[in-house]
Structure 1
Amino acid sequence: MLIPPEEAPALVMEFLERSIKVVSLQLIISVRRRAIRLGVWWRVNPLRRGLLEASIQYLRRGLRFRSPRALEMLREAVIEVLTLVLMRSVRFMAFIIGSRIARALGRVVRAVELIAIGIQWLNTPPEYRTRHALEMQS
């Protein structure tokens, strides 16, 4: 991947923290299946893996979490797994980078154009990239 490895997880996590508000049984199961299929499930922290496995069994019984702290822990575990899964997707990384560049330029564009902008940035050699294109603007 052409984006520096230390920047990629931060970009993906920031996007996921804004996007994921509610953690449901269906979300946990689908995230787990995709992580296993892509081979990143075993890179997840073992405690968070155990939390996700236990929560699947707990929610399948028809029970629900009431503790805000437990829900936050589940949300963080899902975000960690999705970060590992989505970092492998060039299209997703291009979307995130393209949206950052569009936000820095003050433009509103379609998702397809965001992906194109992101792919162009990823294909640009690092010495020719502008530093201000990806500066954090939130």
Structure 2
Amino acid sequence: MIRGIRGATTIEKNEANEIIDATEELLREMIRANDVKASDVASVLISATEDVTAAFPAQALRRIEDWTYVPVMCMQEIPVPHSLPRCIRVMMTVHTTKAQEEIAHIYLRNAVQLRPDLSLTRKKEL
């Protein structure tokens, strides 16, 4: 079965190290929480709001061992008025035997407000 795993995080400052570090933290938590192996990943799409410009968040994936050949692409989010600023979102498409409700979608930092329903559920399970 192919499933999507969602994740999001935010940064405080538009600085390259912060962008890459925050994205790596998010990716590692998504991988850990869902027991994902690189060989099971079809692709990873990473979007960022228009105020995240100092680095490509996708660079973070290259820091993770064995993820060299996973296709990854960055793109800009639609600039919706009053949307969450300095936000990085991830959609990881994976092959898994997990049911849809077993997938752990990860929201860190200020991005918790994007899906508080999923964030609260995960906190209870962890």
The alignment's TM-score, normalised by the length of structure 2, stands at 0.31
Q: What TM-score do you get using the length of structure 1 for normalisation? A: 0.29
**Higher gyration radius (CA):** 1
Higher relative contact order (CA 8 A, sep 6+): 2
Query: Is the helix fraction higher in 1 or 2?
Result: 1
The structure richer in strand per residue is: 2
